[in-house]
Chain A
């Protein structure tokens, strides 16, 4: 059955997964029923467990759903230690439901799939050897990709029922009060993990730093925690976040960043009290720098910056140009380190950040979002999931969620090497064109034709060439040539949900 973005979702998939097809970005006001976790009462004497092996045998059983967070990113030691124990104990048929999967987790997940330990996966994304293996059909059941907001929604509604959450934390006390701000492996906001802490039947904390009781601020509370395991190290501080942020010197990225800034500044949204979200790429960081100057020049201050946070955004906070930073994760050490001492840098959970099915998420109040893309098509649909070879190599992250902003800007080069970014049809639709307002490339911008207001505001800005999206696509094709279409089999290896849980696209196994 074809959905609203003209993707054919196979009927057998719809029947097997009990899903609806994507039918528009407006969530409406449905009343839903949340689930609640099981609670094993304790006064705390039995919470400390000697080893990961012991806690795994205490908590895991065949067929369970287990979860992790990805706040340690490429410096994660917890995921591999827990999965090693689970594989070695021979558990079978587990569903793996982490907030996302980073490269450092790839090899052990592939091994777990090969041994039948993991038979289902839901994640924000995957890449590298794991994405490659899944795209070649390693996993019998299709992977389900969900945005950060959608994951929160799915957990709240029991679509993801977490039996055991294994959450690495850089500090905890002996009752389980923990935060992400102190310790050698501090990463700042625990945003994605807070949902697991709230909804998992059994919550295991793994830490390398025991704090005196009571440990505050307690992002994760003792009322939620079943067991605590002390290990030597939970993460590699050098790989958790990037170090000092360097602004790009790439002239193409700078041109794109300056153009993004021109779009924002000349839009009606650039006024005192506006709000914004930027990503972590080179161009996004440069946008922050241009935006800072524009805010100073026009004496405009922002009410909040949202999402994944970097040091340049914290600098705006300290400078008084941004009143609040609403922080679901920290991309670099500067952002992670500042949370502890700054009460205006508010830790928010994934539901507060981006869940469409709650009583109001922060993305609903967002004015400007600057997002990236692997591909954008002439319907403004965006792919951030499958590479130019059709292989899974990305993550939804908060893309679908932040695209709810009033002004959603995609910043992307026209071409990358011989691969066009602006294409007739994206390989995989992740964020629908209805949610995208402006596409910015180094040669100029394209405005979604349904946004007459933006066309009026941006059409006569000096130095801001406006093209149709079709014209941008043709410029790209003139440079790189016309590619052969990718060849896929009929086998569905992954489902891409929209943030409301409907199916926006499926990913098929590559043919090669």
Chain B
């Protein structure tokens, strides 16, 4: 699926993550800033990549500002961002959830 519009989910509060998805033509690229990047940058990218793959999204620029969010939070924000970016916010993809 192609990104229809730039979409954002999450806040900059402690233990939250803000994920912004926008159109791209060269695969999944990350721009990641995290308080815990040294320990968890790969884990954060892997979680978001998994969510994107579940929605069949393969070309997207992912901007992540992470404030130490737990994995379940990152997953939830990623799902919200991708539903908004695909203009599916009103019709959740239950199979993916």
Contact = CB atoms under 8 A, between A and B. Distances in A.
Residue among B36, B38, B41, B42 having the largest count of chain A Cβ atoms under 10 Å:
B38
Interface stretch (A45-53, A57-65, A289-297, A475-483): A475-483
Nearest to A483: B39
A311 to B, nearest CB: 29
Nearest to B71: A481
B42 A480 contact: no
A486 B68 contact: no
Residue among A390, A417, A479 having the largest count of chain B Cβ atoms under 10 Å:
A417
B15 interface: yes
Given A417-B68, A418-B70, A389 B38 contact: yes
A418 B43 CA distance: 12
B43 A481 contact: yes
Nearest to B74: A418
Interface residues of A, number: 14
B15 A486 contact: no
Contacts of B69: 418
Residue among B39, B42, B68, B70 having the largest count of chain A Cβ atoms under 10 Å:
B39
A390 B43 CA distance: 19
A419 interface: yes
A20 interface: no
B31 interface: no
A250 interface: no
Contacts of B41: 484
Contacts of B40: 418, 481, 483-484
Q: Is the interface of A mostly helix, strand, loop or mixed?
A: loop
Given A417-B14, A479-B70, A480-B70, A486 B35 contact: no
A417 B36 contact: yes
A63 B68 CA distance: 45
A390 B70 CA distance: 20
Contacts, number: 42
A419 B38 contact: no
Contacts of B42: 484
Nearest to B66: A418
A479 B69 CA distance: 11
A512 interface: yes
Interface residues of B, number: 15
A427 B6 CA distance: 41
Interface string A2-36: 00000000000000000000000000000000000
Contact of B39 (A388, A479, A512): A388
A512 B68 contact: no
Nearest to A391: B38
Contacts of A484: 38-43
Contacts of A487: 38
A421 to B, nearest CB: 13
Contacts of B68: 417-419
Interface string B65-82: 001111100000000000
Nearest to B47: A481
Contacts of A419: 36, 39, 68
A487 B37 CA distance: 12
A481 B44 CA distance: 11
A418 B74 CA distance: 11
Residue among A390, A479, A481, A512 having the largest count of chain B Cβ atoms under 10 Å:
A481
Interface of A: 388-390, 417-419, 479-481, 483-484, 486-487, 512
20 contacts: A388-B39, A389-B39, A417-B35, A417-B68, A418-B35, A418-B36, A418-B39, A418-B70, A419-B68, A479-B70, A480-B70, A481-B70, A481-B71, A483-B36, A483-B39, A484-B38, A484-B40, A484-B41, A484-B42, A512-B38
Interface of B: 14-15, 35-36, 38-43, 67-71
Given A419-B68, A479-B70, A484-B42, 13 more contacts: A388-B38, A390-B38, A417-B15, A418-B15, A418-B36, A418-B69, A418-B70, A419-B39, A480-B70, A481-B43, A483-B36, A484-B40, A512-B38
